[in-house]
Amino acid sequence: MAKRVRVYDVQRLISEVDQRLHALSADVDRLTLREKVLRLVDLQFKSRCLGVSVVASDGLSETAAMDRIRVYLQRYVGIVIDGAELDVVSGISEYARRIRQLRVEQGYRILTGASPDRESGVDLKVDQYLLTSAIVDPDAARRWHVANRIRRSPGGSKSKILAYLQENVGKVVTTEELSYVSGSKSEFGRRTRELRTEDGFAIATKTTGRPDLGIGEYVLLTANRVAEPHDRHIPADVQRQVYERDDNRCQNAGCNWSIEQWSTTDARILELHHIQSHASGGANSVQNLVVLCSKCHDDIHANRLVLDKRL
C-alpha cells in the first residue's frame, strides 16, 4: 500500500530533499539500478509531501486531496489548469477520479480535454481542466444518474444525446455530460450540432443565439422539433462567425427576433440561410449566409416571404 503524504515544515522538507539529492549525486556511480530506483521512490514521496505542505501553508486542507483540488480550482475559475498542477496540489496520482467526483457528486462544472468540443469553446488538451463557475449545480447528481441510464440503453450516440436533452429540457447541460451519455468522446459535439442544424431541434449554445451561456454549455429549449429537417453541413467555424456578425438576431427586415423572445408559444430557433441557395451551388461561406429565425426561414423557403434585397 502506498504511503500517505503528510504535511511537514516546508523549509525543513526542502532542506531534506536537497540533502538527499546531493547524496544521490555523490553515490549514483556505485549504486545498483534497484538502489537508484529506491532512492528516487523516496525522493518522489518527499516531493509529494512537499507539494501538499506548500499548498497547506497557503490555507488548503492538510488531509483531503479532493478538497485541495476544489479550492485550487475555485481560486482560478475560468483559467486552464494542467493535470501536473493538480498532481502537486492533491498529492495523489488519482486526481482525475477526484475531478469526476467533484462534477458528478458535488455539481461543479469542470470541463476537461478528455471531452474536446472546439466549436463550443472547449479547446483543452487531454490532461487539462477548467472550472467554468464557482457556483455548484444542485441538479448535477440527478442528471448524471439519467446519463448513466441512457448510456446503457440501446441505440446510436445521436439518439442517446437527444434522449438525454429531452429529459433535461430547459436545463443547462455540459460537454462532459453529452460526451459521457453518447459513449463517444470524439463524435458527441458533431452529433449534437446535427440535431440542431440538420434535424431541427432547438439546441442553443453560446455561439448560436445564447451568448449568456458559458463555453461547453447546451440547452434544449423544447422537446419537440421546431424546424424542418435539412442537411447543409456548414462548417462550425463559419456558423460561429455568421452568428457573431449578425448579433444572434434574425436579419429579416421587421423581425429582428432573438432568443430573449423565446417562449413555449413562440418556439423558434435561429438558423443560417443561404443567400444564393445551396441547391443552386451557393457556398457555405460567411458572405453567402445570414441568420434568420426558423419562422422567417420557413416562410422564405415556402415562398411566403422574400428576403430583403439588402442582404
**Tell me: the pLDDT tens digits for 204-262?**
888 777 778 888 899 998 888 876 666 567 887 888 899 999 999 999 988 999 888 88
Q: Residue 70's pLDDT band (boundaries 50, 70, 90)?
A: very high
What beta strand segments (E) does 108-257 contain? 110-112, 128-131, 173-174, 203-204, 217-220
Taking the alpha carbons at both ends of the chain, their separation in whole angstroms is 69
Query: DSSP state, 4?
Result: P
Q: Please report, rounded to a whole number, the percentage of residues in the chain having pLDDT higher than 70.
A: 95
DSSP 3-state of 82: strand
- Pinpoint the alpha helices (H) of 187-293: 188-197, 236-245
**Is there a contact between 188 and 179 (Cβ–Cβ < 8 Å)?**
yes
Q: Is 28 exposed, middle or buried (0-12, 13-18, 19+ CB in 10 A)?
A: exposed
Q: Which of 70-74, 138-142, 189-193, 236-240 has the highest mean pLDDT?
A: 70-74
Q: What is the dihedral of CA 279, 281, 285, 286, to 10 degrees?
A: -70
- The cell for 37 is 530506483
For residues 264-284, one letter each, b for 16 or more C-beta atoms within 10 angstroms of the residue's C-beta and e for the rest, the string is eeebbbbbbbbeeebeeeeee
DSSP 3-state of 274: strand
Dist CA 49 CA 52 (whole Å): 5
**Residue from 257, 245, 267 nearest 292 by CA:** 257
**Is there a contact between 160 and 181 (Cβ–Cβ < 8 Å)?**
yes
Dist CA 173 CA 311 (whole Å): 35
DSSP 3-state of 199: coil
210: amino acid identity, one letter: R
Write out the H or E segment, with its range, that includes residue 100: helix 95-104
pLDDT of residue 205: 85
Stated pTM of the model: 0.70
pLDDT of residue 119: 61
Sign of CA dihedral 60, 115, 202, 271: positive
Query: How many residues would you count in the chain?
Result: 311
The string of pLDDT tens digits covering residues 168-208 is: 999 999 989 999 999 987 788 889 988 987 888 888 888 77
- The cell for 32 is 545498483
**Is there a contact between 251 and 277 (Cβ–Cβ < 8 Å)?**
no
pLDDT at 309 over 70: no
- The cell for 289 is 449566409
Q: Is 135 exposed, middle or buried (0-12, 13-18, 19+ CB in 10 A)?
A: exposed
Matching residue, cell 453567402: 288
